[in-house]
Structure 1
Amino acid sequence: MKKHLIAAVLCVLLSDATFAQTVEGPWLVRARAVHLDSVNGDSTGLGLAINNKWMPELDISYFFSPKFAVELVLTVPQKQTLTSRGTAIGSFKHLPPTLTAQYHFDPLGSGAFKPYVGAGINYTRFSAVSLPPGVDIKRSSWGPALQVGVDIPLTRQLSLNFDLKKVYIRTDVSAGGANIGTFKADPMLFGVGLGWRF
């Protein structure tokens, strides 16, 4: 009886060890280069626009299961030049952390590539605002974020990532203390980078 019990315990322990070796860890960290392409929607009548640019991005994902994950997107404050009808009138910095919930596919069942879709929320904080006297912008923005991407495994833990996000970022513009309209950046963000799963 004891021999059978010991054998059963050993089988469970060995199977758990094997399972732990074959299952990927729940954490995924990616470093991306991201291109920001602003819509530059403006209802002020001033023809406001910001420059498109490349910027660094770091994101941290946690997998609750092989298919469901949450991702927190981080970067450093980004400086943007603000123009009015093509003429530079000032600048500001923005910090846009984004949190998305994702569904990951494995269409071939072999891990050859893993596309995903996501949706979540963005919070953008504007700082270092330098605009003409009497002109100002609201310092924060909340908006939805949509995402689609793919991870292409290079090794057991390392993957190549392509990611596309639509983030809704907008701010009210005032002159002389009166609201004169809304500026909508609403950028499309294309990213490419590497991910490490552990």
Structure 2
Amino acid sequence: MPALKRLVCLSSAVIAAATLSVGSAAAQSSQWSPPRAGDVLVTGRVTSVAPATEDGIFTAAGTDTGLNVDVSDDVMPTLGFTYFLRDNLAVEAILGATRHTIHARGNGANTEVHETWVLPPVVTLQYRPLTTGRISPYVGAGLNGMIFFDGQDRNGFTVDLDDGLGYALQAGSDIGLRGPWSLNVDVKKIFFNTQADINGGALRSDVDLDPLVASIGLTRKF
């Protein structure tokens, strides 16, 4: 819930920034036009990353310990870059990093075992059915990577996480404001599995992170 509150607060700041940008863009042009083939969108977002992890922790022999992996949410700024191949077809890449704390929960225990940063670049192909009007909705699908770095072990545990590739589904919309500016809302569902080895493999978990990634941001068209 703290991550959700942070997203709400930061989203309010984004909307306020969008209002100021509309005012400054008015001097350039009072009209907004939807993107076309060859256009580039650069989007600064406030992004919430909420893993959906409840996987069990097992011994090396396969015995269930009664503990589950729990991964915290985080809210961080991200950048998106979208290039329009056609008026209704675009490719987007997003960059950002989030920090997550991993707990072992169950049997009355709630122990912090690891903290890590994650770099999860995502590339999607978007279909945009509307090429007129002030609203440009889209759906997309693509690939994501998960790169874990700067990990810090906690409470005497050692945790190794495998990097890898997954896939992503996406839905969102750009809402025209004024001039080159638009408000962006975006939701992605990431599907990613990693192997967590604890204490040199004495304990293991096959972890489906599968985070829901929700964003709001301000877009400029070039």
TM-score with structure 2 setting the length: 0.72
2:43 aligned to 23, 30, 50, which one?
30
Match of residue 82 from structure 1 = 102
1:125 aligns with 2:138: no
Q: What SS does structure 1 have at the residue aligned with 2:87? A: coil
1:100 aligned to 124, 133, 150, which one?
124
What amino acid maps onto 2:138 in structure 1? Y
What amino acid maps onto 1:53 in structure 2? D
2:53 aligned to 37, 40, 43, which one?
40
**What whole-Å deviation, never above 9, does each CA across 1:101-120 have from its counterpart, x for those lacking one?**
000121xx632211100000
Q: Assess, with a 3 A threshold, how the Cα gap between structure 1 residues 128 and 139 changes in structure 2: closer, same or farther.
A: farther
Equivalent residues in 2 for 1:135-174, closer than 5 Å: 135-174=158-197
Structure 1 consecutive aligned stretches of length 4 or more whose deviation exceeds 6 Å: none
The Cα shift of 1:156 comes to 3.3
The Cα shift of 1:175 comes to 3.3
Larger Rg: 1
1:62 aligns with 2:83: yes
1:188 aligns with 2:208: no
Any gaps of 5 or more consecutive residues in structure 1? 1-20
Equivalent-residue separation in structure 1 for 2:35 and 2:215 (angstroms): 27
Equivalent-residue separation in structure 2 for 1:97 and 1:41 (angstroms): 23
Q: What SS does structure 2 have at the residue aligned with 1:46? A: strand
- Whether the aligned pair in 1 keeps the contact of 2:34 and 2:134 (CA below 8 Å) is no
Equivalent-residue separation in structure 1 for 2:206 and 2:160 (angstroms): 9
**What whole-Å deviation, never above 9, does each CA across 1:116-174 have from its counterpart, x for those lacking one?**
00000000101122225563223302101000001100013110111000012332011
Any gaps of 5 or more consecutive residues in structure 2? 1-32, 58-65
Equivalent-residue separation in structure 2 for 1:128 and 1:169 (angstroms): 20
Q: Assess, with a 3 A threshold, how the Cα gap between structure 1 residues 176 and 82 changes in structure 2: closer, same or farther.
A: closer
**What whole-Å deviation, never above 9, does each CA across 1:64-98 have from its counterpart, x for those lacking one?**
111000000101x3221111113322211110000
Total equivalences in the alignment: 175
Equivalent-residue separation in structure 2 for 1:32 and 1:48 (angstroms): 29
What amino acid maps onto 2:69 in structure 1? L
Cα RMSD (Å): 2.2
Q: Percent identity?
A: 31
Equivalent-residue separation in structure 1 for 2:82 and 2:162 (angstroms): 28
